[in-house]
Every structure is written in C-alpha cells, then in structure tokens.
Structure 1
C-alpha cells in the first residue's frame, strides 16, 4: 500500500528535496558570504532575522495563495520567487538589499513547504501517513547533508554556488509540473481557526513547537559548546553530523511504528527519552575534563556520539510525528492545518536560541540541555495528560483523501470519496483525532 501512494507522490517529494538543498545551503552560505565581504556579526544576525521573519509571515500569508491557486502553482511560485531572489542577490552586496531578499525568500520557502506538507498529508490515509512523511523527511535529511557537501565543494566560487542553487530551484518547478498525480482540491475551504486546531490536536501543536526549539538549539549551540570545550574543529563537525545520522537511522522506524499505534504514545516516548538523556548529560557533565584528557578518551567519545545520534534520531522526526497526528483531525482545509503546524515550528526555532541566549549569563555551559529538559518534560507531561483525558479510539472505517494518477478519469479525490460514501447502504463513521 505504501508503494502505491509513494509512486503517485514521488514528484512532490523530489521537488521538495531539491528546494531543501537550496534552503539549507543558503542558510550556511549567507553568513559565510557576508563574512567574506567584510561584514560583522550584527549584519549576519540582521539578515538571519529577516529570513526568520519572512518565513513566519509566509506561513500565514501563503495559506491564502495555496487555497486560491492550488498546491502546484503555489509551490512553483515559491520556488520561482526563490530563484528570482537568488539572481538579484548576485547583483548586489548591499546589507539592506540582502536583508530584503532573504525576507522574501523566507516567505517563499515557507509557502512551498506548507504546500508540500499539506499535499502529502491530505493525500494519504492515517494507516500509511507516518511512513510517507518519514520517507519525505528522510529525503529532506539526506538533502540537508548534501547541501553542506555542495557548499564545501564550491566554497572557492560563491557565485557558482548561487548558480547551483538557482538551478535546483528551477529543477524543482519542472519536476513538480510533470507529476502524474492529482493534487487535493483547493478553492473555497471551510475556515479553520488556530483555536479549533488547539482544541482537537494540542499535542501536535506543542510537539511542533518543542521540535523546532530543540533541533534549532542543538544545531546552533552544540558547535559552539564543543569548540568552547576545546574540541577540535574536525571532531566538532563529525559530532554535529551525528545528529543528522540519527535522523536518517530513526526516521523510517518511527514512521512505520506510528502507523500501528496512537501517535501520541510515540510522541510521549520521544519526549521522555530526550528529557532523560539531557538530564543525564547535565548530571555527568562530559566536557568538564575534555581539555585535560584531549581526544584520547575513546569511552567518552563513544558515549557522546551515541547520545547525539539518539537525540538527533528522536528530535528531528518529532515534527513528522506531530504533523501526522495533526492530520488525524479531519478538516476540509489541509493547507491551513499544515501552515499552523509549520508556523508553530518556526516559533519554536526562534524561541530556542533566544531562550538559550537569555539563560547563558546564569547557565553559561548548560543553557541548551536545561532548556531541552524543560521543554521535553513539559511535552511529556502534557501528552500523558491528554492520553488520560482522551484515550485512543479506533475509527470504524476511514475514507481517506488520496492522489490518483491523472491518466484515469481525472476525478478529484473528494469526488471519488463522496461517491463511495453515498453509494454505501449506511453512513460510515469518521474517526476523530485524539
């Protein structure tokens, strides 16, 4: 069954993966390029803030565009707009211009990823959604690593690197426009408020926020912490890469397991394990003797490596789990639900580093793990409470919205589902989210 859905959705997964290479590469490329042009930390921070602000605005405003023009056109518009901004970036070194360009890029990338997430989620039923989203997350994870390889390869020619990112943006448009699957129907959608989403799937929203805060904090703070502890640059790069390795190892098993159980139990398990591991890290403080023992303590290095693999393997897939759980709440406006979850994730990704910066004067070396313990602990407690208040319920029959090859009759997924329901001698009960 998974293969059937995967074949029809492969184009959107590959197109999103191409844009992930562009997005991840630009995230690293911009501060390096600004530094090479003689910029300072303030300028780098300003441009980064402009991108984050644009991303958050794109999560909200992009929803209207998706509903008005459809998934394919919205994705193509986002990728095309990113390509245009890259072309303009080649023409100027102005700080203000780069900040404006990154702001627009943030909005465009947020819109296209919202369209991709919503398409994949709406087009798959509950019993395979976790695995399909895991495959998408795996592809994105591999592309994130590839983006750094490309960046290293073209480090001596930044303009050529921009050309490569421009090419990938255009390729994503071509790939998506050649898809044979019928995207879910958009247009006049029932309004979906943030309050409705929080009422039905609060675990998904809180989990998305925690996932954004934890992953962003680890990716931004861990390299600095390792360097401050005296760890060599090559060793630091290796240890940070282990976070991504953990994502690749854990993503598929987590997705497959989520299709066989109440996803809130898996979210609870992830939160508990992350909380316990970071608490153990705080207790043992593995870096306290690193400068005296150097890199020769194989046991310490092995323990730290395993810790990073497990934390990366549980924290990165957490958003996919929350997305899959969120779409158990049957709504007529999939793009709105996807956008809300992505927006909350973006809020978490902004909150995490800011909270660590605020905590650093009091906890200079322990701010990141303390924040992780607090957030994962709160997620675990809240998820356990929700499981107690609303136990798992299995639907009698679920009519899913899926994508069909366009070589068929050209009917929309909603038309097929409604026809099946109306032809049935009895109405089927649609399961509601927990």
Structure 2
C-alpha cells in the first residue's frame, strides 16, 4: 500500500532532498563562516533569526503563490531564488548583507518546502501518511548528512562550497520541471482559520513551535560552540552530522509506530526524552571538559556523538509527527494546515535563536541546551494535559482527495487518464499551512 502512494511522489521527494543538501550545508556553513571572521554567538543568532524570519514570511506568502501558479512552479521559483542568494553571498562577507540574503533565502526555502509538504500530505491517506512523511524525512536526512560531508571536504574553500550549493539548487529545478507527475489541483479552496487549527490540534501547533526552536538552535549553536571550544572544522561537521544520523535512524521507526497509535503519545515521549537528555547535558557541561582535557578526548567525543544522534533522532521527527497528527483532523484543508504548521515551526525557529542570543550574556555556554530543556518540558506537560482532557481516539475521516499516479515515473499514461477521469471536482481543495 505504501508503494502505491510512494512511486508517484518520488520526484518531489528527490527534488526536496537536493534542496535539503544546500539548506543544511548553509546552516552549518554560516556559523563556521562567522566564527572564522571573528564573530560571536549574538551574530550567529542574528543570522539564524534572519533566515527564520524570512522563512515565516515565505510560509505566509507561499500559500498564495502556490494557489496562483501551482506546486511545480512555486517549488522551482523557490529553488531558483535560493540559487541567486547563494551566488550573491559569494561576493561579500558583510554581516548585514548576509542577514538580508539569509532572510530572502529563508522565504524561498519556505515556499519550496511548503509545496513539498502539502503535496505529500494531501496525496496520502492517514493510514500511510506517517510512513510516507518518514520516507521523505529519510531522504532529506540522507542529504543532510551528505551536506556535512561537503562541509568536511571543502571547509577550507568557501567559494567552492557555495558553488556546490548553487549547483544543487539548480539540479532540483531541472529534476522537478522535467517530471510529468501530476500534482494536486489548486483551484478549489476552502478557508481554514488558525484559531480553528489551534482549537482542533493544539498539540500539533505547540509541538511544531518547539520542534522549530530546538532543531534550529541545535543546528546553529552547536557548530559555533564546538568551534569556540577549539574543535576543528572537520570534527565539527562530523559531530553536527550525528544530528542527521539520528534523524535517519529514528525517522522510519517513529513514523511507522505513529500510524498504529495516537500520535500525541509519541510527541509526549520525544519531549520527555529530549528534556531529560538536555538536562543531563547541562549537568555534565561537556564543552568545558573538552577545553580543559589533556591527552585523548576519544571518550568525550563518543559521548557527544551518541548524545547528538539521540537528540537529532527525537527532535527532527517531532515536526513530522505534529504534521501527521494535524492531518488526522484536517486532511480536507491540507495546504492551509501544512502552511500554518510550517509557519509555527518557523516562528519557533526565529524565537529560539533570538532567545539564545538574549540568554548568552548570562548563560554563555549553556543557553541552547537550557532552552531545549525548558521548551521540551513545557511541551511534555501540555501534551500530557491534552491527553487527559481529550482521551486518545482516532477521528473518522472521509478521504476527500485522489492520489494521482505519475506517467513520468513508470506508470502508463492511460492510468493517469483514468485517475483524472474518476476524480471528483472537489478532490483537491488547496489551502495550505526537515
């Protein structure tokens, strides 16, 4: 059953994976670039917040663009704009210019990933959605690991690294534009208010915010903290890659498990474990030991790697869990719901780094894990309360969409024609919300 829905969606999954390489590489490259030019934690937080603020704007504007021009054109426009911003970044090291470029890049990336998320979510039923989203996350997770390999290999050549990111962005455009896969129809629209989403799936909204704040904080602050502790760029890239390794190892089991139970229990479990691990991290203060250690640091290196694998394996799938949980109740408004949740994720991505920048003068070495511990603890408490207030249940859904197969991916053209002929005019309402 999973394969039936997966094959027509492979083009968008692979294209999104290519963009994930460029996006993730930039996420690690920016703090290393700032550190190499004498910057501090506050500047890293500023650039991260600029990117996330642009991401928020892209979520808001992206829905209108998708509805006007369609999924494929919106994705291609986002990837092309990302390529332009990378090209401009090659010519300057000015902090404010970089902040502006990251802002625009955030909007472009948000639009293309909004298109990808909505396409995948609208085109799959609740019974397999968790696994389909997990496969997508596995694909982008593999590419995120590849991005850290690129950082490791080309850390000393900034220009070449940016050129590779530029090339990958262009490849994503070519791949998606050449496919004959049929995207969901975007004409019919039904309004969905954010208040309604918050009332129906508050755990999904809260979890998306926490996921954005935690993952962005990890990806922006961990590289700088390692660099500040005297860790080489290659070792930093390797350790950051462990966040993505964790995502790769945990995503499919978490997604498959989520299809068999109330997803709020999994959200609760992830939040509790993240809170416990970050609290233990605060007590151990490993970066301090790294700075003062004499001789071999293999033991500390291994502990940090394992910790990052587990944190990545729990924090990255958290957004997918929230997205799948939201679609249990609002599948008929897929694009609107996807955009709202992506917007909330981006809001967390803005507030997380800004909060770390504000906390840095008081907690210079522990701001990120402290923030993660507090937010994950609050999410766990809120989810537990919601489980008590609204007992576990699977809502009954009438699937109001058709998953169109793709003639460009090994399916006969007549199969596509039959699917289009049998589709209801109301099959694809398009309002939309790593």
TM-score range, shorter chain: 0.7 to 0.9
Q: Is contact 1:189–1:332 with CA below 8 Å preserved after alignment?
A: no
For 1:198, the equivalent position in structure 2 comes to: 198
For 1:404, the equivalent position in structure 2 comes to: 405
For 2:423, the equivalent position in structure 1 comes to: 416
1:25 maps onto 2:25 in alignment:
yes
Offset of residue 376 of structure 1: 0.8
For 1:313, the equivalent position in structure 2 comes to: 313
Offset of residue 169 of structure 1: 2.1
Q: Is contact 1:18–1:169 with CA below 8 Å preserved after alignment?
A: yes
Q: Which runs of 5+ in 2 are unaligned?
A: 408-412, 428-434
Partner SS for 2:221: helix
Q: Larger relative CO (CA 8 A, sep 6+): 1 or 2? A: 2
- Deviations, residues 64-121 of structure 1 (Å, cap 9, x unaligned): 0111222112112212233344455556777766554443322221101100001011
Task: Tell me how far apart the structure 1 counterparts of residues 283 and 99 of structure 2 sit (CA, whole Å).
Answer: 42
Moved more, 380-389 or 328-337: 328-337
Task: Tell me how far apart the structure 1 counterparts of residues 268 and 421 of structure 2 sit (CA, whole Å).
Answer: 33
Task: Tell me how far apart the structure 2 counterparts of residues 151 and 291 of structure 1 sit (CA, whole Å).
Answer: 23
Q: Is contact 1:268–1:380 with CA below 8 Å preserved after alignment?
A: yes
Would the alpha carbon gap of residues 392 and 163 (structure 1) be closer, same or farther in structure 2, given more than 3 Å must change? same
Offset of residue 190 of structure 1: 1.0
Task: Tell me how far apart the structure 1 counterparts of residues 280 and 221 of structure 2 sit (CA, whole Å).
Answer: 18
Q: How do 1:8-407 and structure 2 match up within 5 A?
A: 8-29=8-29, 49-89=49-89, 99-155=99-155, 158-226=158-226, 235-286=235-286, 289-291=289-291, 293-294=293-294, 296=296, 300-395=300-395, 398-399=398-399, 401=401, 402-406=403-407, 407=413
Task: Tell me how far apart the structure 2 counterparts of residues 238 and 393 of structure 1 sit (CA, whole Å).
Answer: 42
Task: Tell me how far apart the structure 1 counterparts of residues 421 and 359 of structure 2 sit (CA, whole Å).
Answer: 50
Task: Tell me how far apart the structure 1 counterparts of residues 7 and 405 of structure 2 sit (CA, whole Å).
Answer: 10
Please give the root-mean-square deviation of Cα atoms over the aligned residues, in Å: 3.2
Moved more, 153-162 or 1-10: 153-162
Would the alpha carbon gap of residues 378 and 39 (structure 1) be closer, same or farther in structure 2, given more than 3 Å must change? closer
Task: Tell me how far apart the structure 2 counterparts of residues 305 and 295 of structure 1 sit (CA, whole Å).
Answer: 19
Structure of larger gyration radius: 1
Normalising by structure 2, what TM-score? 0.84
Offset of residue 11 of structure 1: 0.2
Partner SS for 1:377: helix
Would the alpha carbon gap of residues 33 and 216 (structure 1) be closer, same or farther in structure 2, given more than 3 Å must change? closer
Offset of residue 221 of structure 1: 2.7
For 2:432, the equivalent position in structure 1 comes to: none
